[in-house]
Amino acid sequence: MTSLIKSYGKGLTGLFVGLTAIWIVLMILVPTLRMVDRAFIYEDRGGEVAMLALEIDRLYTEKFSLEQELLVLDAAETPSTDSVGVPSVGVPSVGAGLPSPSLTPSPSAAPSPPVPSVGVPSVGVPSPGAGGTPRDRTALEGRIATLEGRIATLEAQETDGSEIKGVETSYSLRNFTDMSAIHVEIFLMTLLYALCVTLLCFVVCYPVAYAAASMPTAEKLTLMMVGLVIPYAINELLRIFSWVMILEKQGILNWVFDAVGLIDFEAGEGIRFVASNGAVFTVMVYAYILFMVFPIYNTIDTLDRNQIEAARDLGASTWRIHFRVVIPHAKPGIAVGSIMTFMLSAGSIAVPEIVGRGLHPDWFSQLIYRRFFEADSWYEGSAYSLALLVACVIFILANMAIFKVGIRDIAK
């Protein structure tokens, strides 16, 4: 600290320290800690209040279907009243009767969709009798009245309850332990795919980086660099888009297949590549490959060419030169490239959203998105984000251990 004051004086040091503190506190640490905090808060949607809400929902639904039956009876009695129109929308709207929309169980949380009724009046439920008997009518009306009574009491309870408690929250690990098997599988598959993308990118990139670093003339190197920078600088989405055009059902790849007679385009044949994990994988390799090239190039570039000459002079084979001389030297670059590629692909939302169009099994990033914006469950979303973050941190640490590089070598 004194060295800082010595360099910049008290005023400027205060300014720099203040700005950095703002950056760390308001933009990095506290937001991350808040997310971690939320990840361990369990929102008790299955708790008393939420159960009430579910129960009220269920009663409304039941009441609605009874009313439908009643209407059918009416229709049968007075044919002039057409079955269409009257009750169609509106009536059973799920949230309308509830005090707070946020209590609405999300579609994913509720086991059955609470709107089973829309189809009922139009199709027409086959009535038990051709004409309803008065006995049926009275019974139905009676049941409806009972239901209304129960709903009223429950709603009263709920209003009291929500004033006192709201949705119960408590610290627990349940956001993680409650993660459904499918979500865990998606999480693991995402990491596995990201790992494969990383490995494949490395295999594809290494020769390119090596070639760039051993370009004989400055002109050739410039040309090569321009060739690498242009696709790198073009927006991620556009890179993805260009591949969607290829993989579409009416896309270029199918056209090529048609041309070689593999499929018949005219007959409407065509392989739907886009909605597969394979397509997501392919596009990801394309989209993030250049994050691998540049770090590796940078490190190989610092290798003294004489070392390679010396190794070759000693009779080492090309393979041996690479495994014993070039790759060990390029370690920090490989570590950086791997970390960037892994992090980008594991956290990619653009590729699965656009290539997959939601038609293929989820990517973990999409799950996070849905937790936040569709299920409106920020606690679970935080837990999912934290899981992803921890996975990336573990990957970074593993990389540092494997390649024996420090944090200062990594971020350059």
Partner 1 sequence: MTTLDTASAPKPGTTPRASVVTAKRETDWSNALLNAYLVIFFAYMFLPLIFMVIAAFNASPTPSVTDWQGFTLRWFQELPYDERFVQGLFNSILIAFGVIAIAIPLGLSGALILTRLQSGASTFLYTVLVSPILMPGIVLGVTTMIFWRDFFNVQAGLFTAMVAQACFIASYCMLLFMARLQRQDRVLEEAALDLGASPVMVFRRITLPFLMPTIVTGSVIAFLQSIENYNTTFFAIGGSYTLVTEIGSRMRFGLSPMINAIGVIFVFITVAGAVTYVLMQRRRDRKAKG
- β-bridge partners, 170: 42
Tell whether residue 135 is a contact of partner 1 (CB under 8 A). Answer: no
DSSP state of 249: T
Tell whether residue 236 is a contact of partner 1 (CB under 8 A). Answer: yes
Cα 297–299–301 angle (5° rounding)? 65
Least separation in angstroms between CB 372 and partner 1: 7
For the chain, how far is it from start to end, CA to CA, in angstroms?
Answer: 25
**Burial group, residue 295, by CB count within 10 angstroms (0-12, 13-18, 19+):** buried
For residue 402, which amino acid is it? I
Tell whether residue 27 is a contact of partner 1 (CB under 8 A). Answer: yes
- Are the C-beta atoms of 351 and 190 separated by less than 8 Å? no
Please report, for the chain, how many H helices and E strands are present, in that order: 19, 2
Can you say how many angstroms the Cα of residue 277 is from the centroid of all Cα atoms in its chain?
14
Binding residue for partner 1 (CB under 8 A) from 47, 95, 124, 231?
Answer: 231
Tell whether residue 320 is a contact of partner 1 (CB under 8 A). Answer: yes
Tell whether residue 221 is a contact of partner 1 (CB under 8 A). Answer: no
Q: Which residue's CB is nearer to partner 1, number 120 or number 209?
A: 209
Binding residue for partner 1 (CB under 8 A) from 347, 370, 377, 403?
Answer: 347
Among residue numbers 33 through 52, which ones bind partner 1 (CB under 8 A)?
A: 34-35, 38
- Of 403, 371, 399, 331, which Cα lies nearest the Cα of 194? 399
Binding residue for partner 1 (CB under 8 A) from 53, 240, 284, 375?
Answer: 240
Tell whether residue 307 is a contact of partner 1 (CB under 8 A). Answer: no
Coil, strand or helix at 43: strand
φ and ψ of 170, to 5 deg: -155, 155
Q: Which residue's CB is nearer to partner 1, number 84 or number 256?
A: 256
Q: Which residue's CB is nearer to partner 1, number 156 or number 211?
A: 211
Binding residue for partner 1 (CB under 8 A) from 192, 237, 262, 394?
Answer: 237
DSSP state of 324: I
- Stretch of residues binding partner 1 (CB under 8 A), selected from 62-70, 76-84, 173-181, 315-323: 315-323
Least separation in angstroms between CB 1 and partner 1: 8
Least separation in angstroms between CB 268 and partner 1: 14
Three-class HEC string of 128-139: CCCCCCHHHHHH
DSSP state of 171: E
Tell whether residue 353 is a contact of partner 1 (CB under 8 A). Answer: yes
Tell whether residue 365 is a contact of partner 1 (CB under 8 A). Answer: yes
Alpha-carbon distance of 366 to 285, in angstroms, equals 19
Binding residue for partner 1 (CB under 8 A) from 389, 398, 405, 409?
Answer: 389
- Of 410, 392, 401, which Cα lies nearest the Cα of 332? 410
Tell whether residue 204 is a contact of partner 1 (CB under 8 A). Answer: yes
Binding residue for partner 1 (CB under 8 A) from 118, 173, 188, 234?
Answer: 234
Q: Which residue's CB is nearer to partner 1, number 30 or number 182?
A: 30
- Stretch of residues binding partner 1 (CB under 8 A), selected from 54-62, 108-116, 153-161, 224-232: 224-232
Binding residue for partner 1 (CB under 8 A) from 84, 229, 262, 402?
Answer: 229
Tell whether residue 255 is a contact of partner 1 (CB under 8 A). Answer: yes
Binding residue for partner 1 (CB under 8 A) from 45, 350, 370, 377?
Answer: 350
Tell whether residue 348 is a contact of partner 1 (CB under 8 A). Answer: yes
- Are the C-beta atoms of 105 and 167 separated by less than 8 Å? no
Tokens 């993680």: give the residue.
176
Tokens read off for 40: 């361990």
Q: Which residue's CB is nearer to partner 1, number 248 or number 301?
A: 248
